[in-house]
Amino acid sequence: MSPNWPSWLPLRGDLSELSPYGAPQIEVPVRLNTNENPYNLSDDLQSALLDEISRCLKVLNRYPDRDAIALREALAGSINASHGTDVDSASIWAANGSNEIIQTILLAFEGGALGFEPSYSMHPLISKVVGKSWISIPRDKNFEISESQIEKAISATESKIIFITTPNNPTGTSTSLELITKVATAIASRQGLVVVDEAYGEFSKNPSAITLIKGHPNVLVSKTMSKAFAFAGARLGYVIADPKVIEALQLVRLPYHLSALTQAAALAAISKQSSLSKDVERLREAREEVAKEINSMGLQSYPSEANFLLFSGFIDSSVKLWEELLNRGVLVRDVGIAGHLRVTIGTRAENRAFLDALREITQGRGSRREDNHPEVRG
């Protein structure tokens, strides 16, 4: 047991070395470290939200709809409109953020878990917390998943739950539906599941893996309202899957886990969804502009399909550059990949502040291009 835990505490041995997940929450003028949408809700949406919530207040003495049917139907409508699918509420389940979705999946299904890293670090963390083994397959030098890495995943027979994050956090890279289909087909005979984490899917032009579910019932697609929907504070994630998968998830969910206030807020947000696509388009355009300017400084930004950029090529260590940016009021994310930092795309003014600070720090000291494979933290 780690010396930080008192001996009288019956903490599980496998947890004693872990630390709680979380990016630093530092009050600074420019916060570009948690991939939030920088645009707050429109006045129109705020008043729709207040209406829904005041309706809800009249019955707050009662438990919420345990199955969140109205919300799941609204999500189905929104998904079908965006992806040309015909899913219904039986193929969708909603929870407090997609982290709860991931945890519920890992609680419900047997076997170890596997992911292609670097990727979202909650996948291994939650796997460990629920007592599962975790296999990490390193991505290639451009942070993509190659055919040979897919083959490795397929042959890791103890892993029944394979995570594919696309676009991937923290690298922004996407994985094709062909590769996802290949994994899903190959692991079906060992009762394997592919969990496609599409938290940033709305920022990409690639088709969603939702379209695979009909032909491949072992594909689960996890999505969130935290990013493109600009709803991180409300905590709403959802999964689209075969109805039997959704039914199985109900075995481990807590009763009344999704508050009536959350359900009401999400319903209001979905009803005003069309106003959000403008902001998503603005963020996509800004991403390309920021990438260009980072590259013009002699640094290297990785091609991204998400609302953030991973960049490298600076002389300082990532810790040092992170600190220097923070000293100038700009908070970015050190994702634990040596020589790399991740910046979320913000408003025009925030992006300008970041780029000016980056230029000021790196200019005069020069920069170098890093073509070598970075050291990867598991």
Ligand X SMILES: Cc1ncc(COP(=O)(O)O)c(C=O)c1O
Binding site for ligand X (CB under 6 A): 35, 97-99, 120, 165, 169, 197, 199, 224, 226, 232, 237
- Minimum distance from CB of 131 to ligand X (Å)? 21
- Minimum distance from CB of 223 to ligand X (Å)? 8
Question: 147-155 and 177-187 helices cross at what angle (nearest 10)?
Answer: 20
Q: Where are the beta strands (DSSP E) in the chain?
A: 30-31, 92-95, 112-117, 134-138, 159-165, 193-197, 219-224, 237-240, 300-301, 308-312, 330-331, 340-344
- Minimum distance from CB of 107 to ligand X (Å)? 16
Shorter beta-carbon distance to ligand X: residue 197 or 202: 197
Shorter beta-carbon distance to ligand X: residue 37 or 98: 98
Shorter beta-carbon distance to ligand X: residue 179 or 361: 179
Shorter beta-carbon distance to ligand X: residue 169 or 173: 169
Shorter beta-carbon distance to ligand X: residue 41 or 357: 41
Q: In whole angstroms, give the CA distance from residue 193 to residue 70.
A: 28
- Minimum distance from CB of 327 to ligand X (Å)? 25
Residue nearest to ligand X (CB): 97
- Minimum distance from CB of 99 to ligand X (Å)? 4
Shorter beta-carbon distance to ligand X: residue 194 or 297: 194
- The two beta strands, 92-95 and 237-240, are antiparallel
Closest CA to 222 of 299, 115, 309, 367: 115
- Minimum distance from CB of 296 to ligand X (Å)? 28
Shorter beta-carbon distance to ligand X: residue 28 or 232: 232
Are 115 and 170 a contacting pair, CB within 8 Å?
no
The 3-state DSSP class for residue 117 equals strand
Burial per residue of 223-255, b for 16 or more beta-carbon CB atoms within 10 angstroms, e otherwise: bbbbbbbbbbebbbbbbbbbeebbeebeeebee
Q: Quick count: other Cβ atoms within 10 Å of Cβ 205? A: 7
- Minimum distance from CB of 199 to ligand X (Å)? 4
Shorter beta-carbon distance to ligand X: residue 179 or 306: 306
Q: In whole angstroms, give the CA distance from residue 356 to residue 350.
A: 10
- Minimum distance from CB of 261 to ligand X (Å)? 17
Q: Which residue has the tokens 């969140």?
A: 68
- Rg (C-alpha) for the chain, rounded Å, is 21
Closest CA to 250 of 30, 85, 101, 131: 101
- Minimum distance from CB of 227 to ligand X (Å)? 7
Interior angle at CA 135, CA 134 and CA 139, nearest 5: 130
The 3-state DSSP class for residue 221 equals strand
Q: In whole angstroms, give the CA distance from residue 128 to residue 132.
A: 5
Shorter beta-carbon distance to ligand X: residue 120 or 322: 120
